[in-house]
Structure formats: C-alpha cells, structure tokens
Chains A and B, each alone.
Chain A
C-alpha cells in the first residue's frame, strides 16, 4: 500500500469550509445542537426587529414634531386664526411637554393608535384600516407573480445558455430584461393606462371593483422586478449548473425535470429569495405609485392626498405602517432562508 497521502484533500474546500471546520465529524449530539442554534438565531433576529421598530417609531415622532416648524400651522395654512390653531393644538395634545407627548405617543402606538389627522381629526387608524388590505393585496400578488415569472424564466434561460450556448438568446434575454428594468412602475402603469384605457379597452384601468382590475396594477408592479430577479436567477442558475454535484446528478441519467427541479432549483433559491425580500419591501412602497396611476383605493392613494394637504400626522402614520411592514418582511425572509438553508451556515453568521 502506498504511503503517499494527499493531505490537501483533507483540507476543506473554501466553499464549505465554514460549515466543515466547525464540526469535522457529525455525531449524535449534533441532533440537538441545531435546535439551540436555531432558537438563539430567532431570538436575536426578533430582538433586532424590535430595536429597528423602536428606532423608526422614535424617528417618526421627532420628525413629525419638528416638521417645518409647526405641523398645525402647516396643515391649516398661514391664514388660519391663532385661536383655531391653539384650539387644534390642545386637541392634539401638542401643548403638553415633549416627554409627555412622546410617552402618550408610545402608549397610543401600543394600543394601535397611530395619531389623528390634523385636518379632520379622524384617527389615522381609520384611514389605514380600510385601505391597507387593498394595498397589501396588490403588493402580495405582485411578489407572487414576480417569483412565478422570474424563477422559471431565469432557470430556463440558464439551462438554455449554459456553457456559452445560444449567444443570441443570451443577448436577447439581457436586452429585454435591461430594457424592462429601465421602465419604472409608474411609467409602465401610465403606458398600460393609455394602451388599455384608450386603444384596447378590455381591462379596467381604474378602481378595484372587479378581479380584472387587479391585472394591470399587478402587471405594472411585477414587470420591473421580474426582470431584475430573472437576471439574478439566470446568473445563479448558471453557477449551480456548473457545480460538481450537477455532474453527479447527470451521471444518474435522471429525467430532465428531476435534474433541474430537484437538483438545481433548491440551490439557487437562497440568492433569489434574498433578493425577493428586498423586492417585496420595495413593492410595499411602490404600490403608492401604482395606486396613483390606477386610482386604486389603497394606502398610497391616501398618502398622496395627505402630502398635498400637508397633513403630516397621516403621512407619519402611514410611513410607520410601511416601515413596520418592511421590517416584518425582512424578518420573515431571514427566518425563511434560515429554514431553507440546510447548510445552516446562515444560523452561525
């Protein structure tokens, strides 16, 4: 037997190095360890979420209080009589000391009180309640459609263009996605309104009265992000297809569907879902744009009205809702990724 040993084979490859050096040989105890690691991760991540929320809430308070001098004066205009302003200030609790206001504000938030409109005295919660579901429906559908388009298109293009094949398709794909990314949601929406409102009126271009009215707003929201994610999915797909384990899978002469769906897809999901999380966060805000274009009775629509009316209590309240949603989406994606990522490197990070 040869004594020439190849020690370098024993050194872990950089790719899996982190996971490997930590536990050279998995033993019985490793069954319990991931659970502990897992809960520590969830707790730490939840703590960070609460911290972020607290910071955002405080920033919103400070910003609204400092808003260009006096929010009430801003809202009621320079011609409003001083008596009305004083009355409204007292109504809103703005004559109290700042720390009292902050405490009341935090206490109110805990009870689901987002403040009241400076103009109408209507609770911000009332404005949000009816409109939030409409906006969320748009955003959620758009994220779903984005993933349903981008991942299959990206993976298929990766398969077709792997190892430098079909340069024409690669060029076309890059051109088409590049062009789509350069058309922002509101612009695409405007184009769709012109196309379907004037030239070919088969789909509703305003309001949310029927299921069909979801089609165009969702399309306007989903198209640009689909292009971005499809590009990433293709690049990730190419990376995965070039991996050694794909050769192992090929050596088993598996059916094409099994080869790509079982062996390639799960390995590209981490990167795609990470980006999808950012996209979903952006989508929440982008609804405001699309709602404006399609007269969609959602949160964004109310937001624009509040901005033009300088009603900063409503603007601040809605901003808080957006921020909370985005922070929660991030938490959700992080936990989802940790669940999906069997290599558990994510947990140890």
Chain B
C-alpha cells in the first residue's frame, strides 16, 4: 500500500535534510510573525540602512527595520501564498482533469489543445492578465500562479485516472457492485494520492520561487506588506549602498526552494521504491578460481583463430554478484563455423558478447586465455582494441528492432567506420548495395537512404548481417542471427553466411537456442548449460547421437518431418538454474533422468569421449542408443 511506503521513510542524509528544512520552514511560518512581527514593521529613524552588527545581525533596511526580523516574519506570507496557489491549482486541475469524463470526444480534443497552449504560458504572462483584471496584489499573484499550474495538475490527474479506470481491481470492484463513492475513496484516491503528493511538494517549491519573482516585479505583495520577493525588490535600488539587505531574503528564497525541491525528490524516490538502492557494485568481484584447464590447453595450435580458455563472466546485482558464464573454453579455426546452443539463461549470448568485449563495463570478465589470431584480447585497452583488432571481429545482433539506430540512415550505418583499405566512400556504398542484394533485399540503392523504421523486421535483420560482412571480418560472432526471419529467408541467409566463410576463410561463432539451425550451418556444436560447456562435438557425432543427456534432450525436443503430428513433442521438465544459484555437482542433475548421487556432489569435467567429442558427464550415453534422425 502506498501509505505504508511513504510512512517507511528512513533516515538517509537527504531525507533528513529535507525533513529538517521543511519542518523548520513550517515552524517559522507559524511562530515568525508572533515573535518578530512588531520588530519587522516598526521603522527606526535612528538606525537607517545600517550594516550588520551585534544589535542587527543582518543589518537594517532604508527605514531602519531589522532585516533578519523581516525575513523571519515574511516566511509565513511567502509559504502561505505558495501553498495557496498550489491548492488552487490542485482543485482547478482536478476539475479540468475530470472534465473529459463528461465531455464528448470533440470537446476533449479541443480541451487537450487548449491545455497544451495553456501549459506553455509562463506565470508572468498569466499574472499580467490577472493584474489588469484585479489590480496588483498578493491575491492576484496567487490566482495567477494557481492558474499557471492548473494545466500541469489537470494533465496529471487525467493520466492517473485514465490508468486506474481500466485497471483490473477497479473493473473487479465495479463488477462486485461497490458504490461509486466507495470506489473513489477506496480505490481511486489512494492510488493517485502518492504521485499527486510528489507533484504538490515539487510545485510548492516552484510556486514559491515564481511568486517571489512576481512580488519582486511589483505584481505581487504590495507595501506595506512584504514577502521575500518584495523585500528583494525593495532592496534592489539600494543595492550599491546597502547590499546586505538583499542577502537574507535571497538566502531565504534559495533555502525554501531547495527544501521543497529535495522533499519532492525524496518523496518521488520513495514512491518509485528506489530511494534506498542496494549499490551492489560496491563489493568487489569475488575472486573465485577459474576452472581447470580444458583438455589440450596450453597447446599452441598455430592454426587456431580464436582460443578461449576458462572464461568466467560476473555481473553485480542488487543481491551480490551473479555468474552467467562460469567456465567456458572453446576454439575456432579459420573458415570454421561453430555453433553454441543452449536454453535461454545458459550464458551463450554473454559468452559471445564477452569475446567481442561488448558486455556491460560493470561486469568482470576473466579467463586463462582469450586469444585472437595471436593477440591476447584481455591485455588490450579499448583504444588498442580499436587500433589492432578494429573490425576484424564483427558482431551480428539478435533483435532487429532495437539494434539499428533509428536516427541514422541505413547507408550510414552500413558504411561508417570501415578500415581505410575498404576504399573510398563510393566503394563502400557499392559494396553495401551488393551485400544487400545478395541478401535478397529489394531495391538496395533506395534502402541506403532510408531509416530503419521504413524497413520490415526481416529486412532490418539482414541489414544487421550485412553490417557484419561489410568489414570483411576474420571472425563473425552472431547472436541468434536468424530468429527474426521467416523460413525461406532464414535458409537463404544461412547459406550466404556459409558461402562467405567457405570463400574467404573467415570463421563464425553462431549462438542459437535452435539446434536445428546450427546443425544445418555449423561443423561443430558447443552445448552450454548453466554457464558451462557440457558437450562439444562435431555435427556428425551429434547426429549419430550425443553422449550428454542434455544434448540428447535438446535433440529430442526438435520436431522433424518424421515426427508424428498427434504426439506431443518431448520437453525437458524443470527449469535451468538461476545464474547466482550455487551449484555443487552437475547443474543438469536436477532435471536429468540418469542422475545419481555422484552427479549432485561432484562436478564432471570435459573429457574426451568418442573421436570428435568431449563431454562433461559422469554417465554419458553411447552413440548407438539414439533414435531421432537428422534434424534437418
């Protein structure tokens, strides 16, 4: 409930400061005029315009009145005016906000456009009209201020009530036959009270500043009355001879402005439930030991393009550190296409992003070895990475609707940042056209001048793929590259990628949850589960029947042309473990039909199984027992 959340305000320094300031202002407003009221009004011809002294801490004004007493006394008037104006705005705003309910659609639209124009009018302009009508004075200024803020509250109420109108609980209340009055007091009011309260607090501060500026100009409080703005206005002509008279009212305005501003922000923070965030990033990354070196580690196979050994990726969260990638080792050779498969949450995408150094910078990426074509990637700074690797590693991202920049033309996004030997801009454009054409995008020249929103989702995905190919990278890392495409285009795009690697010997690391896509594209498959590689094998070995029960379950959940339509597809019962769950033993044990006690206590390591496969399982299956056929 909102009330309890607001009530639960603890004592952070900001909250404390805001509370102390607001309480002090309110107390001063109540007692100020009683204590210092007389002193503030009575002129003293013997002490005209005196500088601050023991008798008059902040000096006297040109009539000999004590400045401090006047500032303290003026607290009430300044505050009451600000609160009054805000109250007026809330009442009028509620009326304006409620109007659309009773008005027709046409009138509603007119009202909306009136509100938009009205909102643009600053308080001074509104005050000019009210002053012409009513003459200058405190009431006039308050009315002007209230009218200025009205559309803001009107909009707020409109938005809030519209949201609640359609909410489930109000619909339910209506169906239960709860009276309209009770609906409002029990359901609507408590739910809009909180944001309205935040707005009110912020606006009291704003109103106080604006009202003091009106008084300063002579549009507000008139002599002999005074508020802080009026005091400043009166002090201005004498600013050279007695500058101290401006200091106190100025400081009062600033303090009051800060007080309500802070209070509003604190309330807003509490309302959002974000005021006491757990700054997890404070705790250093746990220095857990990296996994044991994989089979064949340290061997300097000169042929390898990418070597990853014992990659571990950790991110800070509210509750501590989470480890989406626990221990991943893999190796890619030029021209080779390797697939990484796993359910969502297996850490496959994070692995790909960590290799390309595109994970969030708050995370920690560690490994025994992260080697690209003889260069230790982990040792490079960002600028060194830009210089030495540049676009030799290209990335194809997952979601075509968010990974293209909506503000830039397709042509710009395709041709920018290419290495110099990529040729002149015209050369780059020609190449972009060729690539788009090859990916079966219609009228590729026109597309270069268009913005992403003018393209369909499938076209955008192909643009992302073309972008990765523009730079003639040696390694393409593709994160779910074909999920947005329909079957025929998907097939075509995969073939293009395949041809490319075949022709110029670049390698690709393709991440997918779809083992079917990978078997048709890759030569080798890495199966990931809960941040670890559980099996790595050639596609032939995979089709012969994988050794790990998880890989086999993935294959079995795949429909083929032979699958009987009536029979439900096999699914894997249970869920993969959460990345920050500590796991002893094999992470898959909880879902595995073959699991025994050992699986739950001892972690199996990758060990060579058959000729072209390694598997991390205590009880691997043998190839012969497999039933499903080729997935393609």
Interface residues of A (CB under 8 A from B): 1-6, 9-10, 12-13, 15-16, 19-20, 23-26, 30, 48, 51-52, 55, 59-60, 63-64, 66-68, 74, 162-165, 167, 178-179, 181-187, 190-191, 193-194, 197-198, 243-245, 247-255, 258, 262-263, 266-267, 277-278, 281-282, 284-286, 288-289, 292-293, 303-304, 307-308, 310, 312, 315-316, 318-319, 322-323, 326-327, 329-330, 342-344
Which 7 pairs, one residue from A and one from B, show the smallest C-beta to C-beta distance? Answer: A2-B516, A182-B257, A266-B407, A244-B402, A285-B124, A26-B454, A319-B128
User: Would you give the shortest CB distance from B108 to chain A, in whole angstroms?
Assistant: 15
Query: Known: A245-B404, A286-B122, A289-B213. Is A307-B559 also a contact (CB below 8 A)?
Result: no
Shortest C-beta distance, A226 to chain B (Å), equals 16
Distance (whole angstroms) from the CB of B46 to the closest CB of chain A: 26
Q: Which of B442-497 contact A (CB under 8 A)?
A: 450-451, 453-457, 459, 464, 467, 471, 483-484, 486-487, 490-491
How many pairs of residues, A versus B, come closer than 8 Å at their CB atoms?
248
- 6 CB contacts below 8 A, A to B, read A1-B491, A2-B516, A190-B236, A248-B403, A254-B417, A342-B451
List the A side residues contacting B416 at CB < 8 Å. 252, 254, 258, 262
Contacting residues, chain A, for B205 (C-beta < 8 A): 182
| Residues on A with beta carbons closer than 8 Å to the beta carbon of B471 | 252
Partner of B360, one of A163, A244, A258: A163
User: Which B residues lie within 8 Å of A60 (CB)?
Assistant: 129
Q: Which residues of chain A have C-beta atoms less than 8 A from B100's C-beta?
A: none
**Which residue in A16, A165, A179 is a CB contact (below 8 Å) of B453?**
A16
| A293–B236 CB distance below 8 A | yes
Question: Are the C-beta atoms of B132 and A263 separated by less than 8 Å?
Answer: no
Question: In the complex where A19-B453, A164-B279, A288-B124 touch, is A67 in contact with B236 (Cβ < 8 A)?
Answer: no
Contact (A15, B456) CB under 8 Å given A267-B407, A289-B217: no
Closest chain-B Cβ to A254's Cβ sits at a distance in Å of 5
Residues of B within 8 A of A12 (CB): 401, 457
Given A13-B401, A197-B240: A68 touches B133 (CB 8 Å cut-off)? yes
Residue of A9, A64, A183, A303 near B483 (CB, 8 A) is A9
Assembled-state Cα–Cα distance A41/B467 (Å) = 35
Instruction: Report yes or no: B385 in contact with A253, Cβ–Cβ below 8 A.
Output: yes
Report if B149 contacts A (CB, 8 A).
no
Which residues of A sit under 8 angstroms from B218, Cβ to Cβ?
A: 304, 307-308
Q: Judging by beta carbons under 8 Å apart, are A9 and B457 in contact?
A: yes
A3 near B559: Cβ-Cβ < 8 Å:
yes
CB distance from B136 to the nearest CB of A (A): 7
Q: Which residues of chain A have C-beta atoms less than 8 A from B209's C-beta?
A: 182, 184
A167 surroundings in chain B (CB, below 8 A): 279
Question: Interface-forming stretch among B36-44, B174-182, B186-194, B391-399?
Answer: B391-399
Asked if B162 CB lies within 8 Å of chain A CBs, one says no
User: Which of B123, B456, B457 has the most chain A CB atoms inside 10 A of its CB?
Assistant: B457
Interface residues of B in 208-222 (CB under 8 A from A): 209-210, 212-213, 216-219
| CB contact between B125 and one of A162, A190, A243, A323 (< 8 Å): that residue | A323
CA distance A243 to B394 in the complex (A): 19
